[in-house]
A and B are shown apart, each in its own frame.
Chain A
Amino acid sequence: MFFLDILSGVLLLVGVFFGFTGALGLFRFPDFFTRVHAASVTESIASILILTGLMLQTQFDLNTAKLIFILLFLMITSPTASHALAKSARHGGLLSIPESKKKKENS
C-alpha cells in the first residue's frame, strides 16, 4: 500500500504541474490557436495523471470504476471541445499569427 501511495502522490503532483503549465500557457501564449493548444494538450495529460493518481487511492471498488468512466468521457469530450473551438475560430475568420503577417505583407 505504501508503494501505491507514493506512486499516486507522484502522479498527482505531475498532473498538477501539467495543469499549471496549461494555465500558464493560456495566459502567456500570443494568439488564440497556441492558447487552445496549450490548454487542450496539457488538460488531457493532466486529467489522465490526476485521475490515475486518484484511482490508486481508492480501494479498487465501485469508485475506481466511476473514475475510469470519468476518464473515458474526458478523453472523448475534451479533445472534441478544443477541436470545436479551434474550428469555430477558423470558421469565424480568425487567423494564426504567421497567416495574419503574410496577409499584411500581401496587402
Chain B
Amino acid sequence: MAVLIDLVLLSMLALTALRIIFLKDLFAVVMLFGIYSFLSALIFINLDAVDVAFTEAAVGAGISTVLMLSTLALTGRKEKESKHSSILPFLVVTVTGAALIYGTIDMPPFGDANNPIHQHVAPRYIEQSPVEVGLPNMVTSVLASYRGFDTLGETVVVFAAMIGVLTLLSVRRKEDDEAPDSGLKSHRVLHVVAKIIIPFVILFALYVQFHGDYGPGGGFQAGVIAAAAIILYALVFGLPMALRVISPKFLQILAPLGVLLYASVGIYSMFMGGNFLDYNKLAHDPVHGQHYGIIIIELGVGITVFAVMLSIFYAFASQAERRNVS
C-alpha cells in the first residue's frame, strides 16, 4: 500500500514540476511551488522522514511562498515571452537526464535493508543512540549530539544569510500615516480568527521545540513555526503593527544570541574538560549531560531560526510596502 501511495504522489510531483515549466504567470508558479512543497512533504512522510516532512511543510510551503510572493509584488507577475529557441536547453537536459537515468541502474534497489548506506554509520545510531544519548528520536540525537558541529555550521549559515539579506534590503520603520491600506485591514473575520489562532501557533511552536527530543520536531521547525505566527500577524494586521510587537532591532540581537548560546555550550564543555560540544561533561551522569546539552542547543537553533526567518520577512515586506507608498 505504501508503495502505491509513493508511486501516485511521486507522479503528482513530477506533473506539478512539469506544469511549472510552461506557466508564464509567476503568481501561479509560486502557488504551484507551494503545492509542490506540500506534495514533497507527504512523500517524505511516506518515506519515514517525519522530521523532514515537518520542516518542508513549514518552510517550503509557508515561508518560501511568502518570500517569493513579496518578491513578485516588486518585480511584476508576468514572465515575458522569450525569443530564444528552447531546443538547445531541451537537448542539454535530455542528454544529462538520459545519462543520469543510465546511472541509476547501478544504484542499489530502493528500500533494500542490505543497501550500503544502511551498513555503516546508521546501525550505530539506531542501536546506540537510545543508550548513549537517551532520546527516543534518533534524528534529534544525531542532529544535536553526534553531528553537533555540522548543525552549528548550518545555524551559522542561516545567520549569515540573514546578514546577507539585511545588507541588500534594509528594514525601515515608517510613520503610521504613511502606511498603505492593506486589503485585509477591513477584514473583521480574519482579524478575529487570527487573534484566536496566533497564540495557539506560538504554543505549538514551543511544544515542537521542547518535545522534539521525543517526537518529530526540534529547533529548526519550532523557529520556523513561531516565525510563521508573527508573519501571519503581519499579513493580517499590517506590517507596522508587527514591527511594533517585535522590532527588527530586537531580532538583530536575538539571531546572534542563538548562535552564541549554541557555541557557548561547546566552550563550556571544553572548560569542563571535554572536547568542543562534548555534552557528556555537562553533568555528572553522561546521559543527563546529553539531555542538558541538546535542550540548550536546540533552544539556540530555535531562537536563531526564528529571528532570521522573521527579519528576512520584515526586509522583504517593508520593501513591498515602501513601493506601495511611493
CA of A76 to CA of B198 in the docked complex: distance in angstroms? 12
Q: Mark A65-100, 1 if CB is under 8 A from B, else 0.
A: 000000001001100100110011001100000000
CA of A91 to CA of B196 in the docked complex: distance in angstroms? 24
Q: How many residues of A contact B (CB 8 A)?
A: 10
CA of A87 to CA of B184 in the docked complex: distance in angstroms? 9
| Contact call B200/A80, Cβ cutoff below 8 A | no
Out of A73, A83, A84, name the residue touching B200 (CB < 8 Å): A73
CA of A70 to CA of B34 in the docked complex: distance in angstroms? 21
- Which of chain A's residues has its CB closest to B236's CB? A84
Out of B184, B187, B193, name the residue touching A77 (CB < 8 Å): B193
Q: Return chain B residues, CB-CB under 8 Å to A92.
A: 183
| Contact call A80/B183, Cβ cutoff below 8 A | no
Which label, helix, strand, loop or mixed, suits the secondary structure of the B interface?
helix
Q: Mark A7-27, 1 if CB is under 8 A from B, else 0.
A: 000000000000000000000
What distance in Å separates the Cβ of A44 from its nearest Cβ neighbour in chain B? 14
Q: Return chain B residues, CB-CB under 8 Å to A83.
A: 189-190
A-B contact number at CB 8 A:
22
- Which of chain B's residues has its CB closest to A87's CB? B187
Q: Does B197 contact A (CB under 8 A)?
A: yes
What distance in Å separates the Cβ of A21 from its nearest Cβ neighbour in chain B? 19
With A80-B189, A84-B189, A84-B190 known as contacts, the answer to whether A73 contacts B183 (CB < 8 A) is: no
| Contact call B197/A76, Cβ cutoff below 8 A | yes
CA of A76 to CA of B193 in the docked complex: distance in angstroms? 7
| Contact call B197/A84, Cβ cutoff below 8 A | no
Q: Return chain B residues, CB-CB under 8 Å to A88.
A: 183-184
| Contact call B187/A76, Cβ cutoff below 8 A | no
Q: Return chain B residues, CB-CB under 8 Å to A87.
A: 187, 189
What distance in Å separates the Cβ of B28 from its nearest Cβ neighbour in chain A? 14
Q: Return chain B residues, CB-CB under 8 Å to A77.
A: 193, 197
List CB contacts (< 8 Å) of A29-60 with chain B.
none
- Which of chain B's residues has its CB closest to A76's CB? B193
What distance in Å separates the Cβ of B82 from its nearest Cβ neighbour in chain A? 29
What distance in Å separates the Cβ of A50 from its nearest Cβ neighbour in chain B? 15
List CB contacts (< 8 Å) of B186-227 with chain A.
187, 189-190, 193, 196-197, 200
What distance in Å separates the Cβ of B54 from its nearest Cβ neighbour in chain A? 14
22 A–B contacts, CB within 8 A, in A order: A73-B197, A73-B200, A76-B193, A76-B196, A76-B197, A77-B193, A77-B197, A80-B189, A80-B190, A80-B193, A83-B189, A83-B190, A84-B184, A84-B187, A84-B189, A84-B190, A87-B187, A87-B189, A88-B183, A88-B184, A91-B183, A92-B183
Residues of A near any B CB (own CB < 8 A): 73, 76-77, 80, 83-84, 87-88, 91-92
List 6 additional contacts besides A76-B196, A76-B197, A80-B193; criterion CB under 8 Å: A73-B197, A83-B189, A83-B190, A84-B187, A88-B183, A88-B184
Q: Which 7 A-B pairs have the closest CB atoms?
A: A80-B193, A91-B183, A84-B190, A83-B189, A76-B193, A88-B183, A80-B189
Residues of B near any A CB (own CB < 8 A): 183-184, 187, 189-190, 193, 196-197, 200
